[in-house]
Every structure is written in structure tokens, then in C-alpha cells.
Amino acid sequence: MDNKKRLAYAIIQFLHDQLRLGGLSSDAQESLEVAIQCLETAFGVTVEDSDLALPQTLLEIFEAAATASEEDSAEAERLKTEGNEQMKVENFEAAVHFYGKAIELNPANAVYFCNRVAAYSKLGNYAGAVQDCERAICIDPAYSKAYGRMGLALSSLNKHVEAVAYYKKALELDPDNKTYKSNLKIAELKLREAPSPTGGAGSFDIAGLLNNPGFMTMASSLMNNPQIQQLMSGMISGGHNPLGTLGTSPSQNDLASLIQAGQQFAQQMQQQNPELIEQLRSQIRSRTPSASNDDQQE
């Protein structure tokens, strides 16, 4: 049976019920009568076609659907709250699960996606975080937290150009957010820095380090240390090649010697100038984007 005709019949039946109940102005009654005539003509049905009737009236169907929607929304909120609790105890996989269930019940809620972004980021799933940020922004283009968390995810993927753009958008929407301001400065700083020879996440400005007088003085002093000289001399005289020659790979003994030299060098640096070492560590830590104020779930 044609479901369109059944739907049209249900609407006509509903309009007839409204006329029968009364309480309408004459203009309203006339409008309903015209609407009924138009539907009957358009779909070729009349109120007499009882074989098209559904077990429930149109109003009963709507009320049931509205109640179900309210129940789904309430359950989705409960699941989101459970996800927030799992975030507090650092059970991030469980948090992803609960946020996902909330999204299934209400896929039009940007908060659920954005909360799952935080859980994904804690698990190192930055690609998933980016996707959820895109969904949250699509749902609510004025949701500043989605832009801020997108910036964090992109920064973690070393996509600092894109991260800067998203941090700026987050600040347009939330100009007083200190976390966005701080993370924007970090992302802009990383764009200005020359790439490190070693590259990779967590690297720091080697050029700046080599221009540090304290570091160079300490390094020069260490290279004059008899123990360091003896170790380096032994590596050279023994024919070791820590880095391997062209077309060959370094041997295990070569690598062990290089690691040993590095460990001794680091120990001597720590003993001679612990303040400078701590300063270098602080430099590295200060260049890591923060999620501090943005870590709170909604």
C-alpha cells in the first residue's frame, strides 16, 4: 500500500479531528477546510478511505516519537557524564566508549564529539581527534572549544600552520581564553624556528643551544676532561666507526661505545652545571602545547 497516501490520510484525519473539537475561529476553520480539500485532491484520498487508517492516530505517533527522543537525550546525557567520570580517573578508553554511545543516541550534539576529542588525544589518536573536531565544528561553527582542541591535535601532528589558524579562530570566539593565547604563541614560535637536524616531536632549538655561552664553555671544559679524551681516543685508535662508513652499518660495539661516550658526557654536564641542564629541560617543557584550562569536559 502507498505509504504516502496513508500519511496524507493520517493528516486529513488529524485536521478533521481539530474541526470536530471546535474552539477555532471562523478563519481558522476555513483554513483547515481548504487544507483538507487540497490534500484530498493532491493525493486522491478522502476521510472515508478507512482502509488507509493506521493503528495509531498521527498525534499519538508524534507523541510517542517525542517521548522516545526525550528518553534518548536523557540517556545520552547520562552516558556523557559517565564518560566525564572516566576521564577524571584517566580511563580514556572507557571514556571513548561512553562518548561514542552518547553520539549514537544524539549525533547532532557537538559537545559529545568534542569531549571524545579529549579522550582520543590522551590516547594519542590525533587523527581521530581531528575528525571529531571537524564534526563538532560542522554541527556548531561557533563552538570555540572545538577549534581550540583542533589546534592541540594538529600541533601534536606537527601541523603548526593549520594549528595557528584554528587557535586564532578559537580566540575570535573566546578572546579571554588564556590557554588558547598560550598555545597560539607556542605554535607561532614553532613556525619561526628553523627545523632541527634531528627533527621529530620534542626536539628543541639546537642553533640556539650552540650559541649559548654557558653550554659551549661547559662543552669545551668536558672535552679537555682526561676521561672523555681517553674514551674518544680509544674509539679512534681501535678503528671504531660509531656512525658507520658509506654503504655500511655501524657494528654493535661501535654503537655501544658511542652510547657510553654520550652517557659519560651527559653525566659530566649534569655534575658541572646542573642549573644549565635544568634550564634546557625547562625550555623543552615550555614548548609543549597545554590543554590545562581546556581539559574540562562539558
pTM: 0.53
Between vectors from CA 115 to CA 145 and to CA 291, what angle results, nearest 5°?
A: 55
Domains of the chain: 1-55 (1.20.5.420), 65-193 (1.25.40.10)
Residue 23 has pLDDT above 50, yes or no: yes
C-alpha cell at 18: 481539530
DSSP symbol at 200: S
pLDDT of residue 246: 40
Say what the pLDDT of residue 173 is.
96
CA–CA separation, 165 and 98 (whole Å)? 31
Confidence of residue 277 (pLDDT cuts 50, 70, 90): low
Can you tell me whether residue 130 is helix, strand or coil? helix
163 vs 194: which has the higher pLDDT = 163
Torsion angle in degrees (nearest 10) through CA of 110, 116, 120, 123: 160
Is residue 146 within 8 A of residue 140, CB to CB? The reply is: yes
Number of alpha helices (DSSP H) and beta strands (DSSP E) in the chain: 14, 0
Other CB atoms within a 10 A radius of the CB of residue 277 amount to: 16
Q: Is the pLDDT of residue 136 over 80?
A: yes
Answer yes or no: is pLDDT of 202 > 50: no
Structural contact between residues 137 and 146, judged by C-beta atoms closer than 8 angstroms: yes
The cell for 260 is 657510553
- 3-state SS, the chain, equals CCHHHHHHHHHHHHHHHHHHHCCCCHHHHHHHHHHHHHHHHHHCCCCCCHHHCCCCCHHHHHHHHHHHHHHHHHHHHHHHHHHHHHHHCCCHHHHHHHHHHHHHHCCCCHHHHHHHHHHHHHCCCHHHHHHHHHHHHHHCCCCHHHHHHHHHHHHHCCCHHHHHHHHHHHHHHCCCCHHHHHHHHHHHHHHHCCCCCCCCCCCCCHHHHHCCHHHHHHHHHHHCCHHHHHHHHHHHHCCCCCCCCCCCCCCHHHHHHHHHHHHHHHHHHHHHCHHHHHHHHHHHHHCCCCCCHHHCCC
Separation of alpha carbons 103 and 18, rounded Å: 38
72-91 burial, b for 16+ CB within 10 Å, e for fewer? Answer: eeeebbebbebbbebbeeeb
Dihedrals phi, psi of 48, to nearest 5 degrees: -80, -15
Give SS3 for 247.
Answer: coil
Evaluate if residue 243 carries a pLDDT over 50.
Answer: no
Residue 197: is its pLDDT beyond 50?
Answer: no
Among the residue ranges 207-211, 242-246, 290-294, the one predicted with the least confidence is 242-246
Which helix H or strand E contains 3, and what residues bound it? helix 3-21
CB 13 within 8 A of CB 57: yes
Taking 90 as the threshold, does the pLDDT of residue 210 lie above it? no
Q: Determine the average pLDDT of the residues in 6-28.
A: 87
Q: What is the pLDDT of residues 36-94, one digit of tens each?
A: 999 989 988 888 888 888 888 887 787 777 776 788 889 999 999 999 999 999 999 99
What is the number of other CB atoms lying within 10 angstroms of the CB of residue 292? 11
